[in-house]
Structure 1
Amino acid sequence: MSIPEAQRPAAALLARLTGDDTPVETHISAIFIGPDRVLKLKKAVSLGFLDFTALADREHFCRREHALNAPSAPGLYRGVRRLARGADGALALEGEGPAEEWVLEMAPLPAADFLDAIARRGALDAALQDALGDTVAALHAGLAPVAGWDAPARMGAVLEGNVAAALEAGLPEARVAAWAEAARGWLSRLAPVLAARAAAGMVRRCHGDLHLGNLVLWQGRPVPFDALEFDEALATIDTGYDLAFLLADLERRVDRAAANRVLNRYVARTGDAGLLAGLPLWLSLRSMIRAHCLHRVGQDGLPFLAAAEAALRPAPPRLVAVGGLQGTGKSHAARLWAPGIGAAPGALVLRSDEIRKRLHGMAPEDRLPPEAYAPEASAAVQAELCALAGQALRAGHGVIADSVFLEPALRARIAAVAAAAGVPFQGVWLEAPLPLLRARVAARRGDASDAGLAVLEQTARRDPGPIAWRRLDASRPLPNEI
């Protein structure tokens, strides 16, 4: 164990209490895992970006870690415990004498339940990806906005700190310099956007280290833990930057489709399409952090350096609209095509059914009453869809608009959004025999669409007018790209 000499008695006690004499170690902690509890010791080290050498500071940061993480996972974090001498002079948990060390107690967790382990075994499926998006959206919704934060300046400090760290870690100097120049250009262009988001309350005291290894299944749902506790400035960031770490990790550990799905679920729950403007820079920074951290400890950071470089060269945006009757598979098509459209991690999918649920303050799978489908409510949904599409396109991000688009006026309206943003437009119309559509609609479970067979029959009787969009037979496999 690389535990400081003065903490060896405490480590020996924790090993006896848990039966774990080979704790999981990081550069700042030693985690002793027992059958009924976990005890986490903060190492008495000073690493420049943190200083845990003083006992009072270790107590403070144990309590800070508990306060930050306990609300997201009730019961996972059990409390802060003192190590002190008992009446017999032996070091004990909650002894009677003055505190000699402080530890954080947690519930034990199966190693298989950490999301990085789930990803490694290929089990991070669509349902879990949606739950991830919900988890992060709920986390951010519960955080208070931070007023008076100079977001561009702080992001500049993060950028320059990563340039220095990348060079110190030994990453190729010429590539780091080229990346730094490109990243500074992005930051200069984004400064007004970042400042506006800060003024709108999108800078909060976030998790700060939101990768798959810091998410775990707890009581049947993914929860974040181990939030960055030792530097308030590093964790006071735009919620989009917090999300970007998870998206970058998903793309590397799973694939782009997983990152795209989590992004779209998050935006479906929050409506925050504005984060897309900063995403290329944020994804690049998160990848650069992984690159130099890995390289520093002798692992290969070059794949992450390549990802950092690629994020700053996004593909140009375009708008694809997918229409058709209920059951034609519009949402399936949108998810299939989205990862390959535009900037990482792929197109923003704007599904009218999900927008309707969000406007009514409900989760996508919740059912709405009939009045939520009144003409004025549907008009508000289409207006929001077009507004979000325009916002994303102007930010340089690709979009797929997923709606029935039965009326010619609605098809013309979505095409006009692309024209106003100066980006290419493609309309796709899916069609299939009505008996097949009936079977698909009847088989739906846990979907955002509330449309049943009666709605399908009613829609099928209406005349959509001339359809100039590309028509695809939805009874056959769709092309993988559009």
Structure 2
Amino acid sequence: MRNICDIVMLNATMNCPDFKPPDTEEIVETHISRVYLAPKFAYKQKKPVNLGFVDYTTLEKRIFYAKKELSLNRRACSGIYLDLAELRQKKGRLFIGFKGGALKDVFVRMRRVDSDRFLSNILKSAEAGSANTEDILNISNILKKTAKKIYLFHKNARTSKRISKFGGEDIYRANWDDNYKTLETFQTPHLDYSAFLSSPLFSEFIRLRAQGGFVRDVHGDLRMEHIAVLDPRRVNGICLMDCVEFDERYRCQDIYLDVAFLLMDFEFNGCFYESVLFFGYYKNCFNYLKSIAPFEKYEPSVMPFFKAYRAVVRCKISLLSPGEDAPAKASKYFNLADFYLKLAQKRVIILNCGLSGSGKSSLSGLLSRWFYARVISTDEIRQNLYGSAAKSVKYSADANIAVYRTMLEEGLKESCGSIIFDATFLKRSHREKIIGSFYKKDCIFIFVYSKIYKEKEEIILKRLSDRFNGGGGYGLKDYSEADASVYFNQKNYFEEPSENELASFAPAARTGIFAQIDAALELKDRFNGLMKT
């Protein structure tokens, strides 16, 4: 996928290109602006470009949109956006001032925020192990404060009958079409988004959301690099920067569509765990019965669709941006959009297996939240079938046959909706019954194996010991009674899975995914590692 800069000279000549604001240390380029970073201030200058969706070609337009940028961003970023700095010329000398000479251009002047205060860099540092201890310990708290900040911003954002019209099918289609046109220019593979836009489910969802006042004048470009964590102890210490000012059509939207940009950005950068955590915190801010419950049945399809749109937007921006890595980023965004669109229109079947103590049930809890999937667990089935019976009865050969038969029967009852089969699956025959029953169905099949390595077995044994001190799967009740003795017994009979098990079912090999993960890793790392595949 080539960068559009290979064909069109995008980096337009700036007015007075040799001028730099006082004490400039660094210059940051985007497809539509140039930011000059000084020790105390940042000066943002709009490029005189017309890209169709944005037009800054005249001084009058740049002044107008610079003023809009100031006023709109002050809504959720108090104290950062200061004023407009005017670039003037007198007797051949360029200077920043408010009178004298001819006005040549304007800068949005901001208080400079240290780069390590942006959420994108905080998470990168935490992942690399270079973040300070306070930030690492407070990632969850930062996400919670960010969710509350965005909730309050959305709650207080303007809405009206006119704004609600931006949540109509015609606007969704126009926005999709406008963004997709750029992608088609580069002969990218086809993305099938039109059918979902016209589907009864989506039409009903957007109608109810518009009627409920969920379409508002919000941000439009809500990504990690636009969220500054100035004080992680306070909600007001979170700053939402750089909203869309050049077209209200891209800013006035459903609040879920606004949040979908941040979710997609988390996931593009491999932070799937943080995405699940944040979205849970965000939804918890609302009155559940009034604002969340009525729309839960739409979420499994609509949220992936919204994230797909956001990935397409960033794919287009990557094609419009300078930089050697832009084409690679564009391809990655495109592939992510394609995956989201498949999720919006297909159910997911996950076979999640591993020995006791491998953490598969905790992983199933996270997977169920991300994929909106029902978890069918042999531990729960065994408890329901045999209750307080002796372990010799509950884990007998006959009991195992009954448990796995019941699991399959429960799964086959589900005619729609995603499913996670959570079990040790000691025998290949048990796994093959699940694969064989679902490989012909129109679904995405994922086979997850949490492998326990001999050199890390002590971690697993400690996990089994800690289980009886409280706690269970992530968001799931822990029905397992397995201890170290059960684990060692399982090892004797375990038929280890391999990718060949999918390959033996030819259609599944075309659509199936086999993922082997290190069971000894922390839950966050296991989940993020799995989702990156």
The TM-score with structure 1 as length reference comes to: 0.63
Question: CA distance change for structure 1 residues 162 and 475 in 2, over 3 Å: closer, same or farther?
Answer: farther
Report the AA paired with residue 200 of structure 1: G
The residue matched to 2:188 in structure 1 has which SS?
A: coil
The 8 Å contact of residues 348 and 371 in structure 2, kept in 1 or not, is answered as: no
The 8 Å contact of residues 81 and 105 in structure 1, kept in 2 or not, is answered as: yes
Looking at structure 2, the residues matched to 106 and 299 of structure 1 have their Cα atoms a distance apart, in angstroms, of: 31
Match of 1:419 in 2: none
Verify: 1:58 aligned to 2:72, yes or no.
no
The residue matched to 1:58 in structure 2 has which SS?
A: helix
Looking at structure 2, the residues matched to 58 and 64 of structure 1 have their Cα atoms a distance apart, in angstroms, of: 10
CA shift for structure 1 position 85: 4.3
CA shift for structure 1 position 475: 9.8
Match of 1:303 in 2: 332
Verify: 1:197 aligned to 2:209, yes or no.
yes
Looking at structure 2, the residues matched to 118 and 92 of structure 1 have their Cα atoms a distance apart, in angstroms, of: 34
C-alpha deviations, 1:162-193, integer Å up to 9, x for none? 33222113322xx33xx2355445x5530121
Match of 2:367 in 1: 340
Verify: 1:46 aligned to 2:50, yes or no.
yes
Verify: 1:163 aligned to 2:183, yes or no.
no
Question: CA distance change for structure 1 residues 156 and 6 in 2, over 3 Å: closer, same or farther?
Answer: closer
**Which one scores higher on RCO, CA 8 angstroms, separation ≥ 6?**
2
Report the AA paired with residue 161 of structure 1: D
Looking at structure 1, the residues matched to 14 and 336 of structure 2 have their Cα atoms a distance apart, in angstroms, of: 42
Looking at structure 2, the residues matched to 152 and 235 of structure 1 have their Cα atoms a distance apart, in angstroms, of: 16
Verify: 1:248 aligned to 2:264, yes or no.
yes
Residue identity over aligned pairs, in percent, reads 19
Match of 1:224 in 2: 240
C-alpha deviations, 1:111-138, integer Å up to 9, x for none? 2222222222226732222222222212
Q: Which residue, 134, 137, 146 being the options, matches 1:132?
A: 146
Residues paired across the two proteins, number: 354
Q: After superposing the two structures, state which structure 1 stretch, 198-207 or 88-97, moved more.
A: 88-97
Looking at structure 2, the residues matched to 49 and 104 of structure 1 have their Cα atoms a distance apart, in angstroms, of: 21
The residue matched to 2:285 in structure 1 has which SS?
A: helix
Match of 1:293 in 2: 317
Looking at structure 1, the residues matched to 71 and 239 of structure 2 have their Cα atoms a distance apart, in angstroms, of: 15
The 8 Å contact of residues 339 and 345 in structure 1, kept in 2 or not, is answered as: no
Q: Which residue, 169, 186, 202 being the options, matches 1:152?
A: 169
CA shift for structure 1 position 307: 2.3
C-alpha deviations, 1:253-283, integer Å up to 9, x for none? 1332211111111100024422726212101
Q: After superposing the two structures, state which structure 1 stretch, 50-59 or 290-299, moved more.
A: 290-299
Report the AA paired with residue 153 of structure 1: D
The residue matched to 1:299 in structure 2 has which SS?
A: helix
Q: Which residue, 337, 342, 352 being the options, matches 1:313?
A: 342
CA shift for structure 1 position 156: 1.3
Q: After superposing the two structures, state which structure 1 stretch, 24-33 or 156-165, moved more.
A: 156-165
1:58-207 mapped onto 2 (5 Å cutoff) = 58-85=62-89, 91-121=95-125, 122=127, 125-148=139-162, 149=165, 150-172=167-189, 175-176=190-191, 179-184=192-197, 187-207=199-219
Verify: 1:471 aligned to 2:485, yes or no.
no
The 8 Å contact of residues 256 and 345 in structure 1, kept in 2 or not, is answered as: no
1:405-416 mapped onto 2 (5 Å cutoff) = none
The residue matched to 1:12 in structure 2 has which SS?
A: coil
CA shift for structure 1 position 59: 0.9
Question: CA distance change for structure 1 residues 283 and 46 in 2, over 3 Å: closer, same or farther?
Answer: same
Looking at structure 1, the residues matched to 74 and 361 of structure 2 have their Cα atoms a distance apart, in angstroms, of: 37
Looking at structure 2, the residues matched to 8 and 2 of structure 1 have their Cα atoms a distance apart, in angstroms, of: 17
The 8 Å contact of residues 133 and 262 in structure 1, kept in 2 or not, is answered as: yes
Verify: 1:7 aligned to 2:15, yes or no.
yes
Looking at structure 2, the residues matched to 116 and 233 of structure 1 have their Cα atoms a distance apart, in angstroms, of: 26
C-alpha deviations, 1:198-253, integer Å up to 9, x for none? 11110011110111121122244432100011011111110000000100111121
Report the AA paired with residue 480 of structure 2: L
Verify: 1:282 aligned to 2:295, yes or no.
no
Match of 1:19 in 2: 24
Return 5+ residue gaps in structure 1 as ranges. Answer: 319-331, 349-392, 400-431, 441-468
C-alpha deviations, 1:379-420, integer Å up to 9, x for none? xxxxxxxxxxxxxx9x96899xxxxxxxxxxxxxxxxxxxxx
Question: CA distance change for structure 1 residues 105 and 345 in 2, over 3 Å: closer, same or farther?
Answer: farther
CA shift for structure 1 position 4: 4.9
C-alpha deviations, 1:294-313, integer Å up to 9, x for none? 35542243333332222233
Report the AA paired with residue 246 of structure 1: L
Match of 1:212 in 2: 224
Question: CA distance change for structure 1 residues 166 and 227 in 2, over 3 Å: closer, same or farther?
Answer: same
The 8 Å contact of residues 18 and 35 in structure 1, kept in 2 or not, is answered as: yes
C-alpha deviations, 1:326-362, integer Å up to 9, x for none? xxxxxx99975433116548789xxxxxxxxxxxxxx
Return 5+ residue gaps in structure 2 as ranges. Answer: 1-8, 321-325, 350-358, 376-413, 421-464, 472-476, 488-518, 527-533
Report the AA paired with residue 216 of structure 1: A
Report the AA paired with residue 170 of structure 2: A
